């Protein structure tokens, strides 16, 4: 799948990164959540 735009929202409160992919109409077609717990001891 090809994406015209890819927005990365970085949330520092929950230490996670949310990726939102938009199609050419500007509609969110896929969201991907990445959690980074490696910084916590």
pLDDT for 1 = 43
By CB neighbour count within 10 A (0-12 exposed, 13-18 middle, 19+ buried), where does 27 fall? exposed
Q: What is the pLDDT of residues 16-32, one digit of tens each?
A: 666 777 777 877 777 77
Residues pairing with 39 in the sheet:
none
Model's pTM, two decimal places? 0.33
The closest of 20, 18, 14 to 39, measured between CA atoms, is: 14
pLDDT for 37 = 63
Per the prediction, the chain carries an average pLDDT of 65
Does pLDDT of 35 surpass 50?
A: yes
Alpha carbons 24 and 4: distance in angstroms, whole number: 6
């Amino acid at each position: 799948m090809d994406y015209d735009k890819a927005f990365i929202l970085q949330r520092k409160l929950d230490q996670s990164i949310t990726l939102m992919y938009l199609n050419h109409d500007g509609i969110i077609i896929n969201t991907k959540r990445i959690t980074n717990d490696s910084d916590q001891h």
